[in-house]
Structure 1
Amino acid sequence: MVMAQVLFKLLRQQHPDAGIDVLAPTWSRPILVRMPEVRRAIDLPFGHGEFAFGKRRALGKQLADTGYDQAIVLPNSWKSGLVSYFADIPQRTGWRGEMRYGLLNDLRPLDKTRYPLMIERFAALAFARDSALPDKLPWPQFSVRADDIDSALAAMQIDRPTTPVLALCPGAEFGPAKRWPDRHYAAVANHYLDQGWQVWLFGSAKDRDVTTLINAACADRCVDLSGRTSLAQAIDLMSLATQVVSNDSGLMHVAAALQRPLVVPYGSSSPKFTPPLSEQVRILQLDLPCSPCFKRECPLGHLNCLNQLAPSQVLNAIRALQPRLL
């Protein structure tokens, strides 16, 4: 969803007066409302993977009177094309995906070698078929409001920081092979805590075990926000970070879209398809013969790709991004 903003920006550049509405899962609304290009977020009334033919048909009929000129369908599933079809939107654009003949009438075959990055695949749908992409694509950039930041701080009972803030995002929904070890995170956290920084730990309730371990290794000096914030609050609080260290995760993309200086230790995954999009990023990867393996858990049992990526390497990357502070 973060990377979809590249498409929205390109559409706005070509059609400054167009209304861009985004039909997406309810959870993504806090992301969409922080994208200035989006006029309205429309919540999907069904869950991920749910076929829900009747609900999709009803939603399409409901949208039929809104006068949309074009629908751009980003998911590749057959069912994802149903709403725009039943809405009778004149131009329905998307990649061929699951053989969506009839559902989409601007159906395009995807050449993955021509568009190796996800943002390129999104961006290409903003233009006519086979058009060349701009030399430089616009990157995601969130817009946050001071009032929302103040509300998030109040909800978490945190004073507005007067010292630098290190934000750590030690979780990864995909699996442990994308998680830099908690002891390495703790080493980095202790280094900055000893210099007078604040350290905030971000994540979902599922990340609470690892953030608890990190905080315990730091003598409970961190602010553990995992499982306590909404996505909206996490975005607004992260906008205050002086520096972010994150695994390859959704929060990594949030930090990049907030233009926060960001260091990312990569393990089983690769930045070649969905890298963090910011000028202030340092990507760390050991390039071992066994990585990237794209597995949820290390198939060899040693997780050397992350265990051997030392805290000193992350500290050096932060120093490169923040030479005046360190």
Structure 2
Amino acid sequence: MANSAKRILVVGPSWVGDMVMAQSLFMTLKDRHPGAILGVIAPAWSQPILERMPEVDEVLPLAVGHGEFGLASRRELAIRLRGRFDRAIVLPRSWKAALVPFMARIPERVGFLGEHRYGLLKERRKLDKQVLDQTVKRFVSLGLPLDEAMRGDFAIPQPRLTIDRNNLVNLRLTHALSSRPAIGMMPGAEYGPAKQWPISYFHELAARLIKDGFEVRVMGGAKDHAAGESIVAGLSHAHNLCGKTQLADAVDLLADCHQVVTNDSGLMHVAAAVGARIHALYGSSTPVYTPPLTDNAVIHYLGLSCSPCFKRVCPLGHTNCLNELSVEQVYQAVKRHIS
């Protein structure tokens, strides 16, 4: 690192979707600082996603569980980073997220005000939620000069993950996937059931699409396996891959899908970042705040008077924001976009 390239460290977020959206910041930094070296502190699970981002030069896994303080792990990482970076951008607004850059003695440290981080950050920015009305805007703004960031009219590059074609071939063989055009389905949402379209609706939609000649691939984590079994029950050309693939595998499998039907989830953002046509189903959240970052998306959102509530479970007990989003509506939208 003897050259004059700026050495930038980003403390990344803790959720799949947020990490994908953070690529917009990484792309902005590389564009604004040609030749810069970019390192990202992130949970170990996110390494396969970050390795699909050509802008990231180094992944620095932090062995701390979600919600865990992990002072010893943070201190150990900070010691290893001393003298290696000139500027740190802290995306999470928690106090503990700012600890590593502070203990690493990185000269420039920027982030939003939050959780009394006054001594930990050199540049503390006030978050204007009216101007920075999307998660991705907030991320990108921290990589820009303050005056430009506060105008809110800056460009947002769309995330674009690289695809491993050899891995895709192996996955198709391993899981006995057919030559039919594939439709991906993601029934999970880590946040809670108020963001999950009914499983019976996914099953009915899958049955109709299989009858039309498609293969259905249900994707998600191990927690989604039971839901996947319900969706594929009694259906040919339907594969429950929940818990059977790694995160990097999901990148390649989604890139191979003609269209994807998904809740507002981390995998929705992965699908958007590989160019799949997205049918995004919104319930308690809103596409205004966390839209799929692609021009190739169809938004399904009823916008009821009680929406968005941003609750994990419907506070009114009916979840009409999703229950009233019919299979017919989504099916017709998928049909309209069949090439």
Q: TM-score, normalised by structure 1?
A: 0.93
1:149 maps to: 168
Partner residue in 2 for 1:296: 312
Segments of structure 2 that go 5 or more residues without pairing to the other structure are: 1-18
Which residues of structure 1 form unaligned runs of 5+? none
Once the two structures are TM-superposed, the CA of residue 239 in structure 1 deviates from its matched residue by 1.1
Q: Indicate yes or no: 2:182 matched with 1:165.
A: yes
Question: Given residue 171 of structure 2, which amino acid in structure 1 is its aligned partner?
Answer: A
SS at match of 2:69: coil
1:132-281 → structure 2 map (5 Å cutoff): 132-133=151-152, 135-154=154-173, 156-159=174-177, 161-216=178-233, 218-281=234-297
SS at match of 1:82: helix
Q: How far apart are 1:13 and its partner, in Å? A: 0.5
Q: What is the percent sequence identity of the aligned residues?
A: 44
| Partner of residue 13, structure 2 | none
Deviation at 1:96, TM superposition (A): 1.5
Task: Find the counterpart in structure 2 of residue 71 from structure 1.
Answer: 88
Query: Matched residues in 1 for 2:243 and 2:67: separation?
Result: 25
> Which one of 32, 50, 56 corresponds to residue 38 of structure 1?
56
Q: 1:306 to 1:2 in 2, by over 3 A?
A: same
Q: What is the SS of the residue equivalent to 1:72? A: strand
Aligned CA RMSD, in angstroms, stands at 1.6
Equivalent residue number for residue 62 of structure 1: 80
Q: Deviations over 1:174-208 (max 9, x none)?
A: 22221111221112111221122111111111111
- What is the letter of the counterpart of residue 215 of structure 2? Q
1:303 deviation in Å? 2.1
Count of residue correspondences: 319
Q: By how many angstroms is 1:134 displaced? A: 5.0
The more displaced of 54-63 and 254-263 is 54-63
- In the alignment, structure 1 residue 130 sits paired with structure 2 residue 138: no
Name the amino acid aligned to 1:242.
Answer: H
Q: CA deviation at 1:123?
A: 0.9
How much does 1:38 deviate?
0.6
**Is 1:87 aligned with 2:87?**
no
Q: 2:192, 2:230 → 1: CA distance?
A: 17
Q: Is the 8 A contact 1:280 1:321 kept in 2?
A: no
Q: 1:148 & 1:133 partners in 2: Cα distance?
A: 39
The alpha-carbon distance between structure 1 residues 220 and 299, as it changes in their structure 2 partners (threshold 3 A), is: farther
